Amino acid sequence: MVQRAEFVMVDNEQQSAKIKPVHKHVFPKWSVYLLRLAVMACVFVSYVWAAYPSYAAGAEAVGSQKESNKEKVVYLSFDDGPGKHTREVLDILHEEQVQATFFVLGEQAERYPELIQAAVEEGHALGNHTYNHHYDELYRDFKTFWKQVKQTEEIVNRIAGFRPNLVRAPGGTYGHFDQSYFDLLELGGYTVMDWNVDSGDSKRKGVPAKEILRNATKVPAGTSSVIVLMHDGGAHAETVKALPEVIQYYRDHGYRFDTMKAEDQPVQFRVHPEGKYKSRKAPGTEWIEDHVKANSNLWLTGKELKIEIGLAAATLKQGEFRVEDQRIMVPLRPFMKKFGGSTRWDVESRTATAVWKDRVIQADSVSGELKTTSTSLLHDSTIQGGVQSQGGTIWVPLRELLEMMGLNLSSLHANDSEWVVKANMPLAAALSIYLHRTI
């Protein structure tokens, strides 16, 4: 056991008696100054040698501890497609096991619907890049920009079965958007994403792969979340050549690859103070009410979804559900887990099978069928066209899923912070399950 040292107070006389005489050596005054200078020089040299190596090795100055501890993530994004090089880009991403975000033009999506489907099936995210990329139309007034966003949204929805609410402005927002563009798109439920690293592959015709690689890896100091701008539409064969090395650079530097989501913190350019579009007229209040505010209901913007099944309840946050064509869509596996069910995935048939109480529910991502079997049912129940596959996740319509679970949707209401769905089990179904378990 370690004992603490005891501190005893001693008066001045006792202390004086205990002090032994000391012989003092007196040095000349100039030597004291020299000694001080020598000590200061040693301290300075020690500091320089401690600080120098990081700069000599070509490293950047070390930032704050908080900044260095941040997870590094990179979002590869491709604009103006799909086009003749999109398939090559998808093949490289597949080989490297990397997901990206494709901001698509509506007119190109109409020409290459199979590439839109391929991108979604391979786990990539889609964003809206307007319909035709024509600056003179898009930035003439907001109504035209809105019309092109909605036009592309409908095209993607027909092809892929969902509406992207990520938007990227052709040419970026700087010099094109005034504050009303930002505000109205946000009010309509969209997230506008610019970029913070430009590969420069569209600066001029035929930008070589080496230059694209150099630009695509110029990360601003202190940036832990990187959005890289590249292009897969048009004549961008050099971008395809540079892509593997771009991926390798970020992988070697410890970045995690991810796709953009509407709930992510947006990266947006500031409004140009001398923008040439300052004289644009903003839409009227009535138009905004009819078009923009009503549109936000597509995504239940800003609200959570609370689901109550009998005495059990679970809350889905933004991104864990979405609304399309007035239908609430939920991811099958997380939903079943919240309510005590289980889910498994069959790779060959591309079908997810969920088990909840006496119900077996199958979601076929190929045919879009949602069907159920049960020991308490005389016949199987099937709903056509309700299942969607996006980014490796199976999405199903909530109302139909509840029906497949043998539940009745009793109410749906909203308050300022959440939507609340209540469902219950019919008495006959509950008795059937009870009898089956007791026989």
Whole-angstrom distance, CA of residue 355 vs CA of residue 342: 5
Residue 197's nearest CA partner among 219, 171, 175 is 219
In what helix (H) or strand (E) does residue 106 lie, and over which residues does it extend? helix 106-111
Whole-angstrom distance, CA of residue 166 vs CA of residue 390: 15
194's CB contacts (< 8 A; 6+ apart) are 168, 169, 172, 173, 174, 227, 267, 268, 269
Residue-level pLDDT at 322: 79
Hey, what amino acid is at 34?
L
Residues annotated as catalytic (active site), given as ranges: 79, 231
8-40: burial string, b at 16+ Cβ within 10 Å, e else:
eeeeeeeeeeeeeeeeeeeeeeeeeeeeeeeee
List of domains in the chain: 73-297 (3.20.20.370), 300-438 (3.30.457.10)
90's CB contacts (< 8 A; 6+ apart) are 115, 118, 119, 122, 124
Strand residue runs (E) in 95-242: 101-104, 125-128, 166-167, 191-192, 197-198, 225-231
Residue-level pLDDT at 414: 67
Residue-level pLDDT at 393: 82
Residue-level pLDDT at 274: 78
Is residue 351 helix, strand or coil?
strand
Strand residue runs (E) in 122-224: 125-128, 166-167, 191-192, 197-198
Whether the Cβ atoms of residue 145 and residue 246 lie closer than 8 Å to each other: no
Whole-angstrom distance, CA of residue 83 vs CA of residue 240: 12
Q: What is the pLDDT along the chain (439 residues), one digit of tens a residue?
A: 333 333 333 333 343 343 344 344 444 555 545 555 554 554 343 433 333 322 222 223 223 333 445 789 999 999 999 999 999 999 999 999 999 999 999 999 999 999 998 998 888 999 999 999 999 999 999 999 999 999 999 999 888 877 899 999 999 999 999 999 999 999 999 999 999 999 999 999 999 999 999 999 999 999 999 999 999 988 899 999 999 999 999 999 999 999 998 878 899 999 988 777 777 888 999 999 989 988 876 765 557 889 999 888 999 887 778 776 557 889 998 899 999 999 998 888 889 999 998 899 999 988 889 998 875 554 567 777 678 887 668 899 998 899 889 898 888 776 667 778 899 877 645 445 444 444 4
